[in-house]
Amino acid sequence: MNYAIAFKMLGYILALEGTFMLPSLILSGVINDGAFYSFLGTIIILGIFSIIMIRVVPGREKVSPKDGLLIVSFAWILVSIFGAIPLFLTNSVPTYIDGLFEIISGFTTTGATIIPDIEIVPKSIILWRSVTHWIGGMGILVFALSLLPKLGVGGFQMFKAESPGPIAGKIEPKISQTAKRLYVIYMFITVILFFLLYLGGMTVFDAVVHTLGTVGTGGFSSKTNSIGAYTGYYIPIIMSIFMVICGTNFSMHYLLYKGKFKDVLKDEEFRAYYIIIILAIIFITIDLFSHGYGKLSKTVVDSAFQVTSVMSTSGFSNANFDLWPSFSKFILLILFFTGSCAGSTAGGMKIIRIVVVFKMIKREIIKVVHPKAVVPIRINGKVVNDEVILGISSYIYVYLIIFVFATGIVATSGVDLISSVSSVTTMLSNVGPGFSAVGPTSTFAFYSGGYKLLFCALMLLGRLEFFTLLALITPRRISEN
């Protein structure tokens, strides 16, 4: 392990975190909301640590795969530890563990909260929560790679460890160029959405908060009632469109920029993603309308918003879907697991894995009839190698194992089974709200500190897709054989 270079790179990450806190520091100073010195103290602490760590001189520049895992894992843990300090110092949360839960929920773009009334929290804290969504959506290491050429050494190891999905693809020859292209697209979408929300009647502050939460597919709102606080259809429709956009593989956006429309339409994950969204909206609309939900226009808009919110793992709500009919909630539960596309800011298992699994099932059915047949699995016309297929299978096995054990542990808290299941699912898939005790109008505040720490671990495992963290704690002799 090259601990020296890992230490140095983590110093750069802490410096970036301090930089991202500056808007909240400035806002607090301007409006005098009482959080100024909390942010100032945290930024100073981050500055001291980053200066000490950056000054470390590594013996060699090479970054091995395990070095990349170490840097990514500790980067997410460290930014969360320091990021929670302002919440705790301003008494925005009762305990530091609550602050850690809240900020990990922000960085992992989960959007689950323990704050029952966000509107009484200092605005600078609300802004910082939402900024963590924007950083975590694309990945703080990806952002670092786009800005710091020095991190390009072994950068693909970190990019691969942090990027969601079974395959980390580069859209440019150099990983730093790939990171820059991704963030240019990310920033462009951010700016467009901000202006659309502002034109829709949101204040500048609310437009910023909801833009960061939508583009990062996080779900933190500046309103206690989330999007339900806004009347009319304009804002839910605009946000639904952009949640779908940000749940799409960002490589597809790059292809659209290059004018390669046919390549986008031929992409199997892209097609499956939109087909699932359309079908889910249709089924839930029919179910709600048949139960007398209200006008057809409202039923369609609410269905579309909640489907796109859950599938993109944003977690915003404009209605209490916990009160919806069982069939509608069943569809939403399925979307909790599936998530959106690989290479997007969303969580969940990813559509590409679901597509491959169905192709695996189809292959096994064919081989029952034709045992000697060689049936390769193809995605977009290309054969998927056995290593990727094994990785997808392993991911799903690990997901289910962690899901079962974590649900059993949460059930000991005394909550009902639906609450236990949805609590764990929403943590692993980074969705945010669940059902029953953790529905869209509830929070996770009632859980004790031990369960909140478990949820913190589940959110990080879900965001880094298990193997990044699990490989780090695997004994060296096993990982190298």
**In a 10 Å sphere around its CB, with 0-12 CB exposed, 13-18 middle and 19+ buried, how is residue 186 labelled?**
buried
CB 39 within 8 A of CB 84: no
313's CB contacts (< 8 A; 6+ apart) are 109, 110, 217, 247, 339, 340, 346, 347, 348, 429, 430, 431, 432
Task: Please tell me the number of Cα atoms within 13 Å of 241 on its side-chain side.
Answer: 11
Which residue type does 262 have? K
* 369 — pLDDT class (breaks 50, 70, 90): confident
pLDDT given for residue 7 in this prediction: 85
Average pLDDT of the residues in 393-403? 90
CB 94 within 8 A of CB 110: no
Percent pLDDT > 70 in the chain is 86
Average pLDDT of the residues in 120-128? 97
DSSP conformational letter for 128: H
Q: Which residue has the higher pLDDT, 281 or 142?
A: 281
The pLDDT tens digits of the residues spanning 31-67 come to: 999 999 999 999 999 999 999 998 887 666 666 667 7
What whole-number distance in Å separates Cα of residue 64 and Cα of residue 58? 14
pLDDT given for residue 157 in this prediction: 47
Q: Give the phi and the psi of residue 122 in degrees, each rounded to 5.
A: -50, 140
pLDDT given for residue 184 in this prediction: 86
* SS3 label, residue 242: helix
Q: Is residue 475's pLDDT more than 70?
A: no
The pLDDT tens digits of the residues spanning 176-204 come to: 677 778 888 899 999 999 999 999 999 99
pLDDT given for residue 381 in this prediction: 87
Q: Is residue 288's pLDDT more than 60?
A: yes
Short-list 64, 112, 17, CA closest to 458:
112
pLDDT given for residue 438 in this prediction: 95
What whole-number distance in Å separates Cα of residue 57 and Cα of residue 105? 34
Q: Is residue 18's pLDDT more than 90?
A: yes
CB 135 within 8 A of CB 107: yes
* SS3 label, residue 291: coil
| Beta strands at 378-379 and 382-383: parallel, antiparallel or unpaired | antiparallel
pLDDT given for residue 471 in this prediction: 65
DSSP conformational letter for 133: H
471's CB contacts (< 8 A; 6+ apart) are 66, 69, 479
**In a 10 Å sphere around its CB, with 0-12 CB exposed, 13-18 middle and 19+ buried, how is residue 422 labelled?**
buried
Return the structure tokens found at 352: 């590409």
For every residue of 65-104, DSSP letters joined together read: HHHHHHHHHHHHHHHHHHHTHHHHHTTSSSSHHHHHHHHH
Q: Which residue has the higher pLDDT, 193 or 171?
A: 193
Which residue type does 115 have? I
- Between the two ends of the chain, the Cα-to-Cα distance in Å is 16
pLDDT given for residue 1 in this prediction: 67
* 291 — pLDDT class (breaks 50, 70, 90): very high
For every residue of 255-271, DSSP letters joined together read: HHHTT-HHHHHH-HHHH
What whole-number distance in Å separates Cα of residue 120 and Cα of residue 204? 18
Strand partners, 383: 378
* 153 — pLDDT class (breaks 50, 70, 90): very low
Q: From the centroid of its chain, how far is CA 72?
A: 15
pLDDT given for residue 343 in this prediction: 82
Q: Which residue has the higher pLDDT, 322 or 3?
A: 322
Q: Is residue 478's pLDDT more than 50?
A: no
Average pLDDT of the residues in 218-223? 94
Average pLDDT of the residues in 362-369? 90
Average pLDDT of the residues in 230-248? 95
Give whole-number Cα distances, 94 to 24, 68, 119, 125, in Å: 21, 35, 16, 14
pLDDT given for residue 237 in this prediction: 97
Q: Which residue has the higher pLDDT, 95 or 251?
A: 95
CB 14 within 8 A of CB 49: yes
How many other C-beta atoms are found inside a 10 Å radius of the C-beta of residue 475? 8
* 154 — pLDDT class (breaks 50, 70, 90): very low
Q: Is residue 401's pLDDT more than 60?
A: yes
What whole-number distance in Å separates Cα of residue 325 and Cα of residue 2? 54
DSSP conformational letter for 383: E
pTM of the predicted model, to two decimals?
Answer: 0.90
Q: Which residue has the higher pLDDT, 168 or 288?
A: 288
DSSP conformational letter for 322: G
Give whole-number Cα distances, 317 to 113, 162, 260, 295, in Å: 13, 28, 34, 19
84's CB contacts (< 8 A; 6+ apart) are 96, 99, 100, 102, 103, 104
How many other C-beta atoms are found inside a 10 Å radius of the C-beta of residue 19? 14
